[in-house]
Amino acid sequence: MKQKGKKRLFIKTYGCQMNVYDSARMADVLAPLGYEAVDSPRGADMVILNTCHIREKASEKVFSELGRLRAFKDERRAEGAEMVLAVAGCVAQAEGEEILRRAPQVDLVFGPQTYHRLPEMIARAARKGGGELDIDFPVESKFDYLPEETINPGASAFLSVQEGCDKFCSFCVVPYTRGAEFSRPVAAVLAEARRLAAAGVQEITLLGQNVNAYHGEAATGGIWGLGRLLRALAEIEGITRLRYTTSHPRDMDDELIAAHADEPKLMPYLHLPVQSGSDRILAAMNRRHTAGDYLRIVERLRKARPDIALSSDFIVGFPGESDADFADTLRLVTEVGYAQAYSFKYSPRPGTPAASEAQQLPEAVKAERLAGLQQLLGEQAVAFNAGCVGRTLPVLLERAGRKPGQLVGRSPYMQAVHLSVPEVAQQRLIGALLDVEIEAAHPNSLAGRLPLAGDLRPCSAASVAPDASTRARISA
């Protein structure tokens, strides 16, 4: 039964971790108005779709979902109640007016930088009966207006420290949907991290579209880079693990690499997208680094933290990509040895320079290359996970699994680890950081059990790390 005065809020999140963070903050903004999260849109008082514009498929999902929600909204109306329907995020930013035109059931549309104004938007939409659009890039920062409280952050939480992007890779919509690069001041980040720690968070993942381009103003004067920020965060009591994502190779500076060498709370895992192994394609993508630059960064990271597990994003079938260019990508993957990775077919995005390139590749070529790349990346992921079997890894237990007594957590290397405990102990163990004996490896996860006695040895990255001759080639 619905409590009096309480309103049901359903948020569906698409896209990257920045959207996950934003959705959680939208719930924080709406909590003082009586909104409480529910896990179904049916019967909700407000539904927010927090959308992603990165590839065509991602954006298309929004319109099909809006069709489905229209029926729920009509159902509510038939009961004499209202469902406020909102579209947020990157599709909202890019196609705000189009959404209101094509989907009149939508009451409000707002971008990633204005959701602190949600209470006013809801009131305005109610007064005029929908059609509210707020896709500004306001001069004020949303972070200065968001509430301090975070609802149930759990053991592992995201913290946005940087937003937007000035890099303008020729395939990417992010600079247009998120706006110009901006770093939150150091004091604001530290304060939010302390609040998260006080609420029981142990692991913080710093977020930004270009998180390692972070350059935040310090209260004492001067500008801090991400390496310095991580060291300050590591001093917060209760925080045991730090991560950051997503990084650009050009911004992997000495201070940040050094933090990987000597800050034990900084986890040995890094998502460092390279996109392609071909210098010709990297130049056409406006990535402003070569394959060699990337391999040298990897070499320095491995020198700093020999067991670091690496992840990347790849795009296949970029306009003009030849068989030889694609072979360069496979070669780079073989040289690096990834613990896991994401790969995508190039998707032309309206308004980006690459979309109007003449040499668009046929779908069949993209599909074939993607399958080839995923095969290689899959083999590497399996090898990396298999290299962990028989070892004991510290696992932060984050939530209950699907089966009774099952717990799910993360290894230092970001692998999902499943284990079974007696059902009576399950709830008590959520949030614990425990040594787990790894018994089996699957393509996307590990299975383990609690050991009788702790035996903490680091997981071996040797299974996918390059051999001596490859390393010599990289540093040549």
Q: How far apart are CA 320 and CA 223, in angstroms?
A: 40
Q: How far is the CB of 406 from ligand SAH (least distance, A)?
A: 31
Query: Please, which of residues 30-69 interact with ligand F3S by CB under 6 A?
Result: 52-54
Contact status: 89 vs ligand F3S (CB under 6 A)? yes
Contact status: 167 vs ligand SF4 (CB under 6 A)? yes
Q: How far is the CB of 172 from ligand SF4 (least distance, A)?
A: 3
Query: Please, which of residues 202-261 interact with ligand F3S by CB under 6 A?
Result: 209
Contact status: 165 vs ligand SF4 (CB under 6 A)? yes
- Strand residues in 83-175 grouped as ranges (E): 84-88, 108-110, 132-134, 156-160, 162-163
User: Which helix (H) or strand (E) is 441 found in, with range?
Assistant: strand 433-441
Q: How far is the CB of 229 from ligand SAH (least distance, A)?
A: 18
- Strand residues in 4-138 grouped as ranges (E): 7-13, 35-37, 46-51, 84-88, 108-110, 132-134
How many other C-beta atoms lie within 10 A of the C-beta of residue 418? Answer: 20
Site string for ligand SF4, 233-272 (x = CB under 6 A): ---------------x------------------------
Contact status: 174 vs ligand SF4 (CB under 6 A)? yes
Question: Interface with ligand SAH by CB under 6 A: which residues?
Answer: 54-55, 171-172, 174, 209-210, 246, 248, 273, 275, 313, 315, 344, 346-347, 349
Q: Which residue is nearest to ligand F3S (CB)?
A: 15
Q: How far apart are CA 404 and CA 355, in angstroms?
A: 49
What residues pair up with 183 in beta bridges, in sequence order?
162
Q: What is the C-alpha radius of gyration for the chain, rounded to an integer number of angstroms?
A: 23
Among ligand SAH, ligand SF4, ligand F3S, none, the one that 346 touches (CB under a kind-dependent 5 to 8 A) is ligand SAH
Please pick, from the candidates 11, 18, 190, 295, the single residue that binds ligand F3S as defined by CB under 6 A. Answer: 18
Among ligand F3S, ligand SAH, ligand SF4, none, the one that 175 touches (CB under a kind-dependent 5 to 8 A) is ligand SF4
Please pick, from the candidates 202, 210, 240, 340, the single residue that binds ligand SF4 as defined by CB under 6 A. Answer: 210
Enumerate residues 6+ apart whose C-beta is below 8 A from 468: none
Burial of 233 (0-12, 13-18, 19+ CB in 10 A): buried
Enumerate residues 6+ apart whose C-beta is below 8 A from 11: 23, 26, 27, 37, 47, 48, 50
Query: Please, which of residues 90-109 interact with ligand F3S by CB under 6 A?
Result: 90
Contact status: 11 vs ligand F3S (CB under 6 A)? no
**Which residues of this chain interact with ligand F3S, rule CB under 6 A?**
15-16, 18-19, 52-54, 89-90, 173-174, 177-178, 209
**Which residues of this chain interact with ligand SF4, rule CB under 6 A?**
165, 167-169, 172, 174-175, 209-210, 248
